[in-house]
A and B are shown apart, each in its own frame.
Chain A
Amino acid sequence: MSFVHDPQFGDRMITLMAALVLVLQIAMVGQRWLITNIRMFALQSFLLAAIAGTIAFFNHSNHIYIAAVLTFVVKTLVLPILLERIVARVGIQQEIEPLINVPLSVLISGGLTLVGYIVAESFYHPEETSAPAALGHNTLAIAIALFLIGFFMMLNRRKALTQVLGLLSMENGLFLAAISLTYGMPLVVEIGIFFDVLVAAMVLGILVYRIGETFDSMDVSKLRRLRG
């Protein structure tokens, strides 16, 4: 089992998982069912936790394990359960109504992945940095793409709850970028970010509920009425 300790192998594993994360993200853009979307997010977060775990294993840095466990608990278990409960409670329609139709959305997501690679290219200087930075190459591009697509998801959707999903996947992109470039930020910062995400999701959950109550709908386009 010597290949398990081979850094080359770890690198490929991570690249593979990152690619899967990206595929899931694009699939989320195309997916019309809310519950499925939440579960895809959970799966994506699980893959992220696995990436963090792999990085921790190959770099022997114990505190990334903690980040991995936190990702798993918060994003794979707590947040999806929370979101599904809100869905059940508000009793909204399951189907997502995007502003832009699905084929075009997927095309745009592809374009944004390209933007991610273009941007990441300018940060890639293999001659200057040491070996691990090669890992950053692909994953940084994917992280930027995740971030942009997450943003696009927020833009593209009418309902507040689905926008929360967009925000959370943006955060996943940030996490991937941070962990693949720096091999883990200081633990305090990580914990702070998780706490932030949790609070943001709760606040948004309450907001979703309130919007639903006030406007009899969760369509944020109706917030236009608040304009003075």
Chain B
Amino acid sequence: MNSLPVGETFALGLLAYTVGAFASLASWRRPALARHLCCGSAVAGAVLEGCAAILGLLQGTPVRWSISSGVPLFAYSFSYDALAGFLNLTLAILVAAVAIYSFSYLKEFEGRRNIGIFGLLFHLLLLSLTIVFTSANAFLFLIAWEVMALAAYGLVTFYHEDPEARRAGLLYIIMAHMDVGCLLLGFALLTQASGSAEFASFHLAAAGLSSSHQAAAFVLFFLGFSIKAGVIPFHIWLPAAHPVAPSNISSLLSGIVIKTGIYGMARIFFDALGVLPAWAGVTVLILGVVSAVLGVLYALMEHDLKRLLAYHSIENIGIILMGLGSALIFRVTGHPQLAAVALIAAMFHTINHAIFKCLLFLGAGSVLHSTGTRNMEKLGGLIRPMPVTAFCFLIGAVAISGLPPLNGFVSEWLTYQSLLAGFGATGGLTRILFPIAGSMLALTGALAAACFVKAFAITFLALPRGAESSRVHEAPRSMLVGMGWLTLACAFLGLGATWFLPVFDAMTEQLLGMRVGASLITSNGLVLSVGTPHGGTVSTAIIGIGLLILLVPTAFLVSRGARRFVRTRGPTWDCGLPGLSDDNEYTATAFSKALRMIFSALYQPRREIQAVFDVSPYYPKEIHFESEIEPTFEKRLYAPLQDLILWFSTRMRAVQAGSVHAYLAYIFITLVVLLILVSRQ
């Protein structure tokens, strides 16, 4: 099996992205041509990269190739192993969907925006993502990482006339630089310890790493990667930046770009740093729990469809971190089987979240494309004009809520099982942590379901709430095809989970030295079990069949009932006050009111009602109502930090005299002092 053309296909895919970048830029004066070149080459690249990933996964053994650059420590080294292949597969699935979707989506840019620039940034993003997942040299990785951040910045601020987009872009670029700074220091530590910047050498040098070095490297990498992944409390850029980008880009940002943080953690924590102590795993697990619960709680309070989805990305990153954290704990406490299950749960949730979050963002993009607003309070009743979009969005919503039989359920179930197993497998305080984390995961799932009931029902059900809804139309065909492809993927990964799980075998063997795929699947590939004592078993295929069996008689009864009973339509009872308008419909704010009250300690809701009276307080002329929740992290954590930096900068200003001579004098004095110090030694 050593002759599969993995490298060649991979290189061709990169070439397709490169060609796409320059071809769309070159044809920017002809928008229609640029659009077709941009999307066409993205589809070609996605197909090639998808093939490369499948070939790489089939091959089973890592493929490595390295081109020396002549600069010390830096080489163009690539390694196509199981982890890289898996993430590239995820990327290819998403890119295929987004590229097909964009054929129609970009049409509205024609004549208004520069599609050439868009194509360049889009393809740069895809190129850098592919290289991030495959590079085997720290410097190549960092360069690709930085190009990715810059391309994403360009796309986030693509609607640059919008001040919100500019602000979000600024926040994003600041956080991106903080994270690359942490990574740079982390890689510097590892490079110093191993004498080389190749990932393979980190692995070899890990055994000789002192525990303080290991801890420092862990903290740096964890900071860097969690900023990128949007882990609370480093998340503030994510709900700002993801909604303002064009929707096809939001779907990639939330779908795969934040997963580079997860990829980095899997790569570094399991491979390059040796066996990490238990506290590292506990840190990851706790931050995972915090992100999951707070992410979904903040999502509940959002009425902006895309911001809501962005907060759900934080929640799902939290769920993935729970899996990663427990895998780290199990590895150091000597339970490789459980570690493998937890790692599979984390990585499976990575691909699942990528797919359904991408699907949901594309659905939100269709809604935005058709109605022109992201505010849920102005939407409503969209299921009638946009049935296909509504169906795809519903499937995505069911999947993200972790309901069987779709893919979100399988990975959340695996995470849950590994958390429960942790109670029996560990001791001390860690033992208590696991059931708490498990119950928090359950709470997260329930709140996510509540949130998506709100998102779907307010957006697609009931009657239209805005005046604009008369010109609402179904999304064009290519957008539907893009969403349909992801819907199919959701269904396949849910119902066919047992067929997909062996894919993880090579990855767990590479990172943990264990193959557990076979023990997870029982009863001829129908039933999923954890393979641990007291572990649960579940079968999405059987649940799916069961649901279908239940659905058939229900549908039959409903259709019979519809024939027997006559449906009559009448006006809503208006309590005697005439003139009910769209505004009197049940709102998203009202839906989440109960939860806002329960969690008021967290939200610190603030309400302000001002009534203007004319004659008597019983007949107010106008009532102003304002309600908002406190942005806790911005106010309690980032605002003091910002004040500190500003204070420090003001103090530093005295040094910035503005005189060239003063600057030269600084350099000169530093130089002379350093030279003398060096010669003293």
Contact = CB atoms under 8 A, between A and B. Distances in A.
Contact of A151 (B656, B660, B671, B681): B671
Q: Give the dominant DSSP class at A's interface.
A: helix
A119 B676 contact: yes
Interface string B639-666: 0000000000000000011111100110
How many of chain B's residues touch chain A, expressed as a range?
10 to 19
A151 B664 CA distance: 8
Contact of B678 (A122, A151, A220, A224): A122
Contacts of A119: 675-676, 678-679
Nearest to B663: A155
Interface in B67-107: none
A226 B658 contact: yes
B668 A152 contact: yes
Given A99-B661, A220-B660, A122 B679 contact: yes
A94 interface: no
Interface string A143-165: 01000100110110000000100
A68 to B, nearest CB: 27
A1 interface: no
B654 to A, nearest CB: 12
Contact of B656 (A121, A152, A220, A227): A227
Interface string A123-152: 100000000000000000000100010011
A54 to B, nearest CB: 27
Interface string A10-49: 0000000000000000000000000000000000000000
Interface string B178-190: 0000000000000
B672 interface: yes
Contacts of A151: 664, 667-668, 671
Contact of A115 (B656, B664, B672): B672
Interface in A199-228: 220-221, 223-224, 226-227
A73 interface: no
A155 B658 contact: no
Nearest to A228: B658
B661 A221 contact: yes
Given A121-B679, A151-B664, A155-B664, A223 B671 contact: no
Contacts of B675: 115, 119, 144
Interface residues of A, number: 22
A125 B9 CA distance: 56
A152 B680 CA distance: 22
Contacts of A120: 679
A23 to B, nearest CB: 21
A151 B681 CA distance: 24
A87 B672 CA distance: 32
B676 A223 contact: no
Interface in B290-348: none
A227 B676 contact: no
Contacts of B664: 151, 154-155
A78 interface: no
Contacts of B659: 221, 223-224
A102 interface: no
Contacts of A152: 668
Contacts of A112: 672
A115 B672 CA distance: 8
A118 interface: yes
Contacts of A118: 676, 679
B681 A122 contact: yes
A223 B660 contact: yes
A227 B658 contact: yes
Contacts of B656: 227
A155 B672 contact: no
Contacts of A227: 656-658
B274 to A, nearest CB: 39
Contacts of B661: 99, 155, 220-221
A104 B661 CA distance: 17
A108 to B, nearest CB: 11
A100 to B, nearest CB: 11
B659 to A, nearest CB: 5
A87 B678 CA distance: 40
26 contacts: A99-B661, A118-B676, A119-B676, A119-B678, A121-B679, A122-B679, A122-B680, A122-B681, A123-B679, A144-B675, A148-B668, A148-B671, A148-B672, A151-B664, A151-B667, A151-B671, A152-B668, A155-B664, A155-B668, A220-B660, A221-B659, A223-B658, A224-B657, A224-B659, A226-B658, A227-B656
Interface of A: 99, 112, 115, 118-123, 144, 148, 151-152, 154-155, 163, 220-221, 223-224, 226-227
Q: Which 4 A-B pairs have the closest CB atoms?
A: A227-B658, A122-B679, A224-B658, A119-B679
